Amino acid sequence: MVIISGLIDGIDRFTDVTGRMISWLTLLMVALVVTVVIMRYYLEFGSIALQESVTYIHAMVFMLGLAFTLKRGGHVRVDIFYRQFSVRRKALVDLLGGVFFLIPVCVLIFISSWDYVLSSWSIAESSAENDGLPYIYLLKTLMLIMPITLLLQGVSEILRSALVVVGWQGDVETRISQEPTL
Measure the CA–CA gap between 128 and 134, rounded to whole angstroms.
9
How large is the average pLDDT for residues 127-155? 95
How large is the average pLDDT for residues 164-179? 67
Whether residue 174 has pLDDT greater than 80: no
Per-residue model confidence (pLDDT) at position 77: 72
How large is the average pLDDT for residues 8-15? 96
Q: Which of 88, 78, 81 lies closest to 176 in space, CA to CA?
A: 88
Helix orientation angle between 2-23 and 136-165, rounded to the nearest 10 degrees: 140
Per-residue model confidence (pLDDT) at position 79: 75
Measure the CA–CA gap between 140 and 114, rounded to whole angstroms.
10
Chain segment 41-68, per-residue pLDDT in tens: 999 898 999 999 999 999 999 999 999 9
Measure the CA–CA gap between 129 and 141, rounded to whole angstroms.
20
Residue 167 banded pLDDT, cuts 50, 70, 90 = confident
Whether residue 16 has pLDDT greater than 50: yes
Per-residue model confidence (pLDDT) at position 182: 42
Length of the chain: 182
Chain segment 59-98, per-residue pLDDT in tens: 999 999 999 999 998 887 777 888 888 999 999 999 999 9
CB distance 19 to 67 below 8 Å: yes
Whether residue 181 has pLDDT greater than 70: no
User: Which residue ranges make up each domain of the chain?
Assistant: 2-177
